[in-house]
Structure 1
Amino acid sequence: MTDRWGITVPFEGIPLADQRSLFEALPDLGYTDAWSAEANGTDAFTPLALASVWAPQLRLGTAIVPAYTRGPATLAMSAATLAAAAPGRFTLGVGTSSNVIVERWNSIPFTEPYKKVRDTVRFLREALTGQKIKADYDTFSVKGFTLGAVPQQQPPILVAALRQGMLRLAGREADGAIVNWLSSEDVRTVAPIVREFGAEKEVVARIFAIPDTDPDTAREIGRWAISAYLNVPVYRAFHEWLGREELGPMWKAWEDGDRKGALAAIPDSVIDELIVHGPAEYCRERIEAYVEAGVSTPVIAPIGPPGLDPADVIRALAPRR
């Protein structure tokens, strides 16, 4: 059993301002971590700022902040501010995000993603100590930035990683990796690559979960989620590397513009591998399997059917007592 048990915040279906009681309940239910995401909903930092006050026992993390969508200095300031608000309890997760979010939604070229994340980590390592930065990196230059509010404790930095290059970067230059959209067995492939650079390297896994929902409904929700994510080039390349040949028909149909065909081509077996669903006790066992395979911190990402009460979900997925 892991010492850590996280959940993705904020919760869907309730205005952010009305979520205080949900955040406050998390520590008593056994949750140790709250991790935010950033795509097309809330930004990554604001929910954690609220969590720092509403549930001061929790460790807070971003999973993830895109390296492209904030300037280096702005990213350093955002990270430093949250590290100051939650001393010793904040972990900064950065990553490439995807071409969809970076290029299509933010009109920023999605070029040299490996170098961009590497340069961002190197910059942050220095900037968060208060050093004056005057440097030319491969993907950006910083001319004389000095962080004006240096946190007392430097936050750990994790890198969102899928394939070998980024996994090694996460182990070599960061404090570990954040992984996503993989099965518990896939963890046995990715975690050892990160830990080539130290057994202490953290591996955080976002685990999609649909508790206490009948299999047909859960698989339908999972089918839509898989088609939305795993046709994005970075995720397709990840699963091709993992050898998930069963998704070949989905990719072919998607390329042909056949969205309905792509949905229908996703095997139930793949949904069952990548998304935890079923009775709550079974879901907990599935999450614990990720830990047994090498995950340091499981972070549950509920994707239940519309109308499901988030309070019921967080209770159902809380760790065994």
Structure 2
Amino acid sequence: MANVRAKVEELKAIGYDGIYSFEASSDGFMPFVIAAEHTETQVLSTQVAVAFARNPLTLAYQANDLQMLSKGRFILGMGTQAKPNIEKRFSMPWGKPVTRMRDMVGAIRAIQHTWQTGEPLNYQGEYYRHTKMQPMFTPKRNPYGPPPLMLGAIGAPMTRAAGELADWFVVIPFCTDKFVRETTFPALQEGLEKGGRTWDDLKIAAQCMIATGSNEKSFAEALARTRYQIAFYGSTPIYAKALEAEGWGDLHPTLRQMTRENRWLEMGQLISDEICERFAVVGEPHEIGPKLVERFGDWVDRLSIMTTYQLDPDVASQIVCDVKALTATRGS
């Protein structure tokens, strides 16, 4: 939190149109209290907040406050996280994730509706029941309206639910172009049809890992950290299907066993160049922008770059400028 303002100023200078938080070793909402006050046009989004570590009312309060503070620039992005993290890290119950997420979305929207209209709150679902909202606890009507709701998923059932219910869907970074086109898009289509909606009713965001650097040393570090990140994702059961789609399903149990043996630092060595380039965009700084546009340019509404290393601001600026120039040329 101490360096949020400086980071925000850096991101603005680079030219980013939005800022997202990745909830890992700190809270995903807190940085936006500062970011909202020191940005004017950038969209702010949790990508994604751990929904099942919280309840609908606390999420609704946080989202409403940030929507007000940012003057309508906040997007509430949520995801489930994995069962072991929910139960063992957050000490929260698991249950049926798709049913629970549908319930979460319904409850949040019911709460927001009560705040906006003054109508009594009476939401009763399988997991969440909200039937009391006294005036003392009711925020003033938000002039910017409730923030859009974004869901992140990889499995087809949750992706279908997102297509049916969400304003935004975010493609997580551990996805390949093949997986998105053959698995994600069909599931979203099914969800849209179930909800009586069309593609005009859903916006798509995507996160993409990149590995690049301004010199040989920085590029080597970026590549090593990206390999590790891919291996970390690949060791998680819910992400195994993305490896399977590419014919690398046998890699998951090996990575899984390495986590049990606490061999975290060795995992990245199992990620070949081919695997790395399938899950991430890899190259010299001048190559990254064109590669991003080639991979995402015909279907994404908002693209987020993900790095687990310090990306040189000059390199980041070049990538942003290249992407904007190329998408402007395409008219997208």
Bucket of the pairwise TM-score, normalised by the shorter protein: 0.7 to 0.9
Structure 1 residue runs of 5 or longer lacking an equivalent are: 1-15
Q: Rate the CA distance shift 1:299–1:112 in 2: closer, same or farther, 3 A.
A: same
> How far apart in 2 are the matches of 1:184 and 1:28?
30
Greater strand fraction, Structure 1 or Structure 2: 1
Structure 1 pair 40/101, CA: closer, same or farther in 2 (3 Å)? farther
**Which whole-Å deviations, capped at 9, do the CAs of 1:282-315 have from their partners, x for residues lacking one?**
11122212323422111111222xxx46534532
Give the structure 2 partner of residue 155 of structure 1. 147
- The equivalences for 1:149-298 within 5 A come to 149-152=140-143, 153-180=145-172, 181-189=174-182, 190-195=184-189, 197=192, 198-200=198-200, 201-212=202-213, 214=216, 216-240=220-244, 243-252=245-254, 254-255=256-257, 257=260, 259=263, 262-298=267-303
Q: CA deviation at 1:22?
A: 3.5
- 1:112 pairs, out of 89, 93, 96, with 96
- 3-state SS of paired residue (1:40): coil
Greater shift after overlay, 116-125 or 100-109? Answer: 100-109
State the structure with bigger RCO (CA 8 A, min sep 6), 1 or 2.
1
Task: Please tell me the root mean square deviation across aligned C-alpha atoms, in Å.
Answer: 2.5
- Measure, in 2, the Cα distance between the counterparts of 1:249 and 1:239: 8
Distance 1:244 1:309 in 2: 28
Matching residue's letter, 1:162:
I
1:126 maps to what in 2? 110
Distance in structure 1 (CA, Å) of the matches to 2:121 and 2:127: 15
- Kindly tell me: are residues 148 and 22 of structure 1, through their superposed partners in 2, closer, same or farther at Cα, counting changes over 3 Å? closer
The structure with the largest helix share of the pair is 2
Shift of 1:63: 0.7
- Secondary structure class of the residue paired with 1:245: coil
Which secondary structure does the structure 2 equivalent of 1:208 belong to?
strand
Q: Alignment partner of 1:177: what SS?
A: strand
Aligned length: 300
> Post-superposition shift, 1:53?
1.3
Q: Using a 3 Å threshold, how does the CA distance of structure 1 residues 87 and 123 change in structure 2: closer, same or farther?
A: same
Verify the 8 A CA contact 1:251 1:262 in the aligned structure 2: no
TM score, norm. by length of structure 2? 0.81
Matched with 1:89 is 73
Identity over aligned pairs, percent: 23
Q: What is the SS of the residue equivalent to 2:291?
A: helix
The answer as to whether partners of 1:254 and 1:262 remain within 8 angstroms in 2 is no
Gaps of 5+ in 2: 193-197, 326-332
Would you say the 8 A contact 2:234–2:255 is kept in 1? no
Q: Using the TM superposition, name which of 256-265 and 50-59 deviates more.
A: 256-265
Establish whether residue 29 from structure 1 lines up as the match of residue 14 from structure 2: yes
